[in-house]
Homo-oligomer: A and B are copies of this chain.
Amino acid sequence: MSTPLLGLDWGSTRLRAFRFGVEGRVEEARALPWGSRHLPEGGFAEAFELAVDGWPRAPVLACGMVGSRGGWHEVPYLDTPCRLERLADALTTIDAPGGRQLHIVPGLRDPAGPDVMRGEETQIAGLLAQRPALSSQARLLLPGTHSKWVRVHDHAVTGFNTVMTGELFAVLRRHSILGASLPDGAADDDSAFARGVTASRNAGAAGALSRLFSARALMLEGALAPSAVADFLSGLLIGDELRMALAASWASPDEPVQVIGEDALCARYLQAAGLLGLSFLATPGTTTAHGLWQVAVAADLTTGYACP
């Protein structure tokens, strides 16, 4: 068994670990609940040991919130525009348990926001390695708790904007009057979602925040089932995110947006885009593991392991 690299995709709520084989194939993957905001007793060091337990002594490369303030070790951001090859030159290395060394990928900062990302830069590096045609010119969307809208030009990330759609949905659902007296669980009601997107579109330039309360009013008068409120709200907020992206030129009717992320979430964004007459394409699955491999190769971390 040759193991040129171990990789960690270490976000705020979870940790995924990869054991790579030759040519960057993922031979084994682990998922642990230890995000930077939720660690076991023993902290980062303990979570690290659990993640790589029993794996060979290969270099370990990590990306994500592990490198943030409040993470294991703060790694400075690289400012945009930033060519992705530069990630490999800006790794920070720290000592980790078991005599191992941990290399951490820097995040990116867009001074125009200001805005920041950690982890998505590695996901983007993985995508562009898989789809070289996108490197010259692309518009990307990485949807999630904090959606990232990204512009790529000439192998560089030229700018990005975070929209907190996922988190906004979660706090409104859990803590506001809109979520009061709703049934538990997700109904996954496509027609309620589409209705929310349409309501968002009908709000026009005013934006969907002006329609949030209508979710409550519609439910009170029986025009929206309690079980459909969450999906309506999701449609309203995602519709508004797309309106914003158009207004700020992150999306355009003339150029498809490449959506990278979990299948179900990508499907929702594609459905919303269709209702708004936009062209979105999905790249299913995560590309982070592939990005970690790319950065490691560029940083010569895998040298000596490539030919077992």
Contact = CB atoms under 8 A, between A and B. Distances in A.
A163 B210 contact: yes
Contacts of A177: 146, 164, 167
B247 A114 contact: no
Interface stretch (A23-31, A199-207, A268-276): A199-207
Nearest to A178: B164
A239 to B, nearest CB: 12
B207 A113 contact: no
Interface stretch (A94-102, A211-219, A280-288): A211-219
B240 A209 contact: yes
Given A69-B220, A217-B116, A220-B116, A209 B248 contact: no
A115 B213 contact: yes
A114 B177 CA distance: 16
A68 to B, nearest CB: 8
A42 B206 CA distance: 44
Interface residues of A, number: 45
Nearest to A214: B113
Contact of A209 (B163, B171, B174, B205): B163
A175 interface: yes
A133 interface: no
Contacts of A146: 177, 213
B207 A164 contact: no
A187 interface: no
Interface string A16-55: 0000000000000000000000000000000000000000
A114 B161 contact: no
B163 A171 contact: no
Contact of A176 (B115, B164, B243): B164
A168 interface: yes
A114 B218 contact: yes
A244 interface: yes
Contact of A205 (B115, B168, B247): B247
A209 B203 CA distance: 15
A141 to B, nearest CB: 13
Contacts of A211: 113
A114 B164 contact: no
B167 A113 contact: no
9 contacts: A114-B214, A114-B223, A115-B213, A163-B213, A164-B176, A171-B172, A206-B244, A209-B240, A209-B241
Q: Which 8 A-B pairs have the closest CB atoms?
A: A162-B213, A206-B248, A205-B247, A206-B247, A114-B217, A171-B171, A171-B175, A206-B244
